[in-house]
Structures are given as C-alpha cells and as structure tokens.
C-alpha cells in the first residue's frame, strides 16, 4: 500500500458545494474516498483512450429464438477465445437470454468485439463496462 499524503487545494466556493453534494449523495465514507475514485476513474479512462491493456465486461440481452443468433454470438466469442476469460449465460425468461462476457485485451480490440456482438440482429441491449487490469490504480 502506498504512503498517504495530505494535500490542500483551492477551488471555487460554488464548485466546493457541488462537490460536497456529490460526496453526500454517493454514500462515500468521506471526501478523500470520493476524490481517490475520481482520480482512479480518470486513470482508467486514459488507459482506454491510449489503447492500453484493459479489462471489460460485456452484457448482452438477446432473443434466443432469433434464427442463428445464439450460434453467431458463440461463434464470435470462439474467434476471440484467447481474450475472453469467461462467459455466463442466464435465461431471463421463455424467450430472452443474457450473456455476461469477461474480456481482457487492448481497449480498441475490446471495443471492436463489443461492436460486433452488439450489432447482431436480435440483440436488444448491449453494454460495455470499461475497467482496468489494475495497473497504476495504487
């Protein structure tokens, strides 16, 4: 664990009040925890912008009755098996499925795989959670 340092900085009063409201609404234990997470979020955002090694979670909601869709989604994942760490399939109801795909690789590559899955006809919703392999977060 890194050594802690104490800092002080200047900020406009109106921004300070906004910060305090955000901290209160977000249920952080204190302002420091909130600012730490802001910094970490910025680091992860830059890692995605710079096409670094990253980690992401893709969530798909789709209609499994759509002809060939399940097969196509599985086929696309097999094409990139070296990067896809795990896939969880949940049957949401009689017709709809959810698949959660854990993926590690270069940011642009993950985005491409996400786009190719999301663009399949019958995929009703798709989201990509952009996270990190943990580098530079401490």
Site residues (vs Ni ion, CB under 5 A) = 91, 97
Residue 118 beta carbon to Ni ion: minimum distance, rounded to whole angstroms: 18
Strand partners, 61: 98, 125
Cβ proximity to Ni ion, 24 vs 92, nearer residue: 92
Residue 77 beta carbon to Ni ion: minimum distance, rounded to whole angstroms: 15
H helices present in the chain, as ranges: 13-25, 31-49, 69-79, 107-118
* Cβ proximity of 114 and 73 under 8 Å: no
Cβ proximity to Ni ion, 60 vs 97, nearer residue: 97
Distance CA 113, CA 121 (A): 15
Name the residue number minimizing CB distance to Ni ion. Answer: 97
Cβ proximity to Ni ion, 20 vs 95, nearer residue: 95
Cβ proximity to Ni ion, 44 vs 97, nearer residue: 97
Residue 24 beta carbon to Ni ion: minimum distance, rounded to whole angstroms: 41
- Kind and range of the H or E element at 64? none
């Amino acid at each position: 664990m890194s050594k802690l340092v104490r800092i002080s900085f200047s900020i406009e009063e109106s921004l300070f009040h906004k910060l305090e409201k955000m901290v209160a609404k977000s249920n952080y234990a204190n302002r420091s925890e909130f600012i730490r997470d802001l910094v970490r979020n910025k680091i992860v955002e830059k890692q995605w912008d710079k096409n670094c090694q990253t980690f992401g979670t893709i969530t798909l909601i789709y209609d499994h009755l759509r002809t060939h869709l399940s097969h196509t989604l599985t086929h696309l994942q097999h094409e990139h098996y070296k990067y896809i760490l795990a896939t969880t399939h949940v049957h949401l109801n009689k017709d709809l499925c959810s698949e959660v795909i854990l993926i590690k690789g270069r940011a642009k590559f993950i985005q491409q795989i996400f786009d190719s899955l999301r663009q399949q006809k019958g995929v009703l919703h798709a989201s990509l959670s952009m996270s990190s392999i943990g580098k530079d977060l401490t």
